[in-house]
């Protein structure tokens, strides 16, 4: 039965998460996601400290890949690390920090730890938070201490699906201390929420702004502005790691167009929207690029634009594209641009940031087929069909991603600098 399949998949995902949590230890791990791709299983690890997950020279990634193959029967596991945007709204990371603080400073300062955690969570924009600390703390008799602030749903579907909950333990000399964290995030939609609609007065200046945007978009005969394209992406894609890939592809395509004397607005739009249906098809990757034509056509894009988008899937087992070949310059550009982002992003995470990255180092990782083995090096080599040497393409792509490093979480944080 199909229900058993779903249960088995979720059980496997839970077991992998437990294994990764125990293996990596205190790295600020939030959760993982297991996705199926045409090249194998993709495991996305969400953590507050990606550099520690990668390890020195990618050591942790290689070890994890090996054990996932042997212990869990994954044929070609691809590990991707995504940084948690707001660590103070993530219940797992908050609970882990409390446990670490208790183990480091002992039970005597548990009230200070609890109150400080509450303040940090509320300052991050949470609607409410509750922290329960149970065990022999501070004395020799077991007690439960409750820290609470704001509004927190305790019943109904929202309390199950909307409240972020985490459980951790801290090992102290007096015994094991249990920690429970429950956070009500700011973006939660409550069923009893009421909004008052105010009358909007449209001024002439607003019309002028819209006319200017239309003029800009008409230069390349594009039906959407960049902001409208972003909204279209957000409608069908929710993961920050996917958005990083779209923005990196956009930057490289724009740089390529400038170098080759092509239409920069058109090429950057192709890079931005090339995986517009990934968010709704990644659970069954054979459906990838089957929904894109309908989405893009409804948005007003031309058939040529849509065909170019679909061309980056040629050779993959999706949308009946396995036997098709790319023939146009723009098709080769899109394919090599969106593919090299995976190599650059993984290398940047291993290094800690994009700062100081050079084509020489990227080329070594390109030759090392064990490094992000799922990336098809032959597709990256399609840059040669554009009249670019591989080294020149590496330099162009690195510079393009460096220009948006902060937007795609590839800059060093203050915490990383301290380390």
Where exactly does CATH 1.10.3210 map onto the chain?
204-414
Distance CA(5)–CA(185), nearest Å, equals 31
Q: Sorting pLDDT into bands at 50, 70 and 90, what band is 81?
A: confident
Please give the average per-residue pLDDT across 244-264, as a whole number: 94
Neighbours of 198 (CB within 10 A): 6
Listed in sequence order, the DSSP H helices in 176-260 are: 204-218, 226-236, 240-260
Confidence label for 262 from pLDDT (cuts 50, 70 and 90): very high
Q: Where in the chain is the domain with CATH 3.30.1140.32?
A: 88-184
Q: Give me the residue label for tokens 């634009």.
A: 305
Question: Given this model, what pLDDT does residue 419 score?
Answer: 52
- Find the mean pLDDT for residues 37-49: 81
Per-residue model confidence (pLDDT) at position 44? 85
Mean pLDDT of 143-162: 90
* pLDDT per position as a tens digit, 164-216: 999 999 988 888 999 999 999 998 888 777 777 766 665 555 555 455 554 44
Task: Pick 361 or 47 by higher pLDDT.
Answer: 361
Q: Which one, of 358, 248, 322, lies nearest residue 38 by Cα?
A: 322
Give the pLDDT mean for 274-287.
Answer: 90
The yes-or-no verdict on residue 379 having pLDDT over 90 is yes
pLDDT tens across 84-100, in order? 888 899 998 999 999 98
pLDDT score at 395: 95
> DSSP letters of 251-319?
HHHHHHHHHHT--HHHHHHHHHHTTTTHHHHTTSGGGTTTSHHHHHHHHT--HHHHHHHHHTTTTSSST
DSSP helix/strand/coil, 390: helix
Over residues 324-373, the pLDDT tens digits come to 999 999 999 999 999 999 999 999 998 889 999 999 999 999 999 888 88
Top CATH class of 88-184 equals: alpha beta
Express each pLDDT in 55-66 by its tens digit: 787 888 888 888
40 band by pLDDT with thresholds 50, 70 and 90: confident
Compute the mean pLDDT over every residue in the chain, rounded to the nearest whole number.
86
- Which one is predicted more confidently, 391 or 191? 391
**Biggest alpha carbon–alpha carbon distance for the chain:** 75
Q: Which CATH number is 204-414 given?
A: 1.10.3210
- Residue 313 CA to residue 216 CA, distance in Å, equals 29
Q: Spell out the CATH class of 2-18+25-84.
A: alpha beta
Specify the pLDDT at position 340. 95
User: Could you give the percent of the chain with pLDDT greater than 70?
Assistant: 93
* pTM, full prediction: 0.53
pLDDT of residue 189: 82
Distance CA 414, CA 419 (A): 9
Query: Which ranges in the chain are annotated with CATH 3.30.300.20?
Result: 2-18+25-84
The pLDDT of residue 391: 93
d(CA 2, CA 156): 28
Is 80 exceeded by the pLDDT of residue 322?
Answer: yes
Q: For residue 394, is pLDDT > 90?
A: yes
Residue 212: per-residue pLDDT: 54
């Amino acid at each position: 039965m199909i229900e058993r399949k779903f249960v088995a998949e979720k059980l496997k995902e839970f077991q992998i998460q437990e294994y990764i949590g125990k293996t990596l230890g205190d790295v600020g791990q939030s959760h993982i996601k297991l996705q199926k791709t045409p090249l194998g299983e993709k495991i996305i690890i969400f953590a507050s400290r990606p550099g520690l997950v990668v390890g020195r020279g990618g050591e942790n990634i290689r070890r994890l890949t090996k054990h996932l193959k042997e212990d869990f029967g994954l044929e070609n596991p691809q590990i991707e690390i995504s940084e948690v945007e707001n660590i103070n709204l993530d219940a797992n990371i908050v609970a882990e920090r409390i446990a670490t603080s208790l183990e480091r400073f002992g039970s005597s300062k548990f009230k200070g730890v609890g109150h400080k955690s509450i303040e940090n969570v509320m300052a991050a924009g949470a609607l409410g938070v509750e922290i329960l600390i149970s065990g022999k703390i501070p004395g020799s008799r077991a007690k439960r201490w409750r820290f609470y602030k704001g509004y927190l749903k305790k019943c109904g579907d929202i309390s199950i699906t909307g409240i972020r909950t985490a459980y951790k333990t801290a090992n102290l000399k007096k015994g094991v201390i249990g920690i429970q964290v429950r956070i009500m995030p700011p973006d939660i939609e409550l069923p009893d929420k009421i909004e008052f609609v105010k009358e909007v007065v449209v001024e002439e200046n607003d019309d002028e702004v819209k006319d200017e945007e239309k003029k800009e978009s008409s230069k390349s005969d594009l039906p959407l502005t960049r902001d409208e394209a972003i909204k279209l992406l957000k409608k069908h894609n929710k993961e920050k790691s996917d958005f990083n890939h779209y923005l990196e592809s956009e930057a490289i395509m724009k740089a390529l167009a400038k170098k080759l004397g092509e239409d920069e607005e058109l090429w950057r739009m192709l890079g931005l929207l090339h995986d517009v249906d990934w968010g709704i098809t990644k659970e069954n990757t054979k459906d990838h690029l089957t929904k894109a034509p309908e989405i893009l056509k409804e948005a007003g894009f031309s058939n040529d634009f849509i065909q170019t988008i679909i061309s980056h899937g040629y050779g993959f087992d999706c949308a009946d594209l396995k036997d098709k070949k790319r023939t146009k310059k723009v098709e080769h550009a899109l394919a090599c641009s969106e593919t090299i982002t995976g190599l650059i992003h993984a290398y940047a995470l291993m290094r800690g940031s994009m700062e100081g990255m050079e084509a020489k180092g990227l080329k070594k990782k390109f030759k090392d087929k064990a490094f992000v083995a799922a990336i098809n090096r032959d597709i990256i080599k399609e840059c040669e069909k554009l009249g670019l040497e591989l080294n020149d393409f590496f330099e162009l792509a690195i510079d393009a991603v460096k220009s948006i490093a902060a937007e795609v979480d590839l800059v060093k944080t203050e915490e990383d600098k301290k380390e």
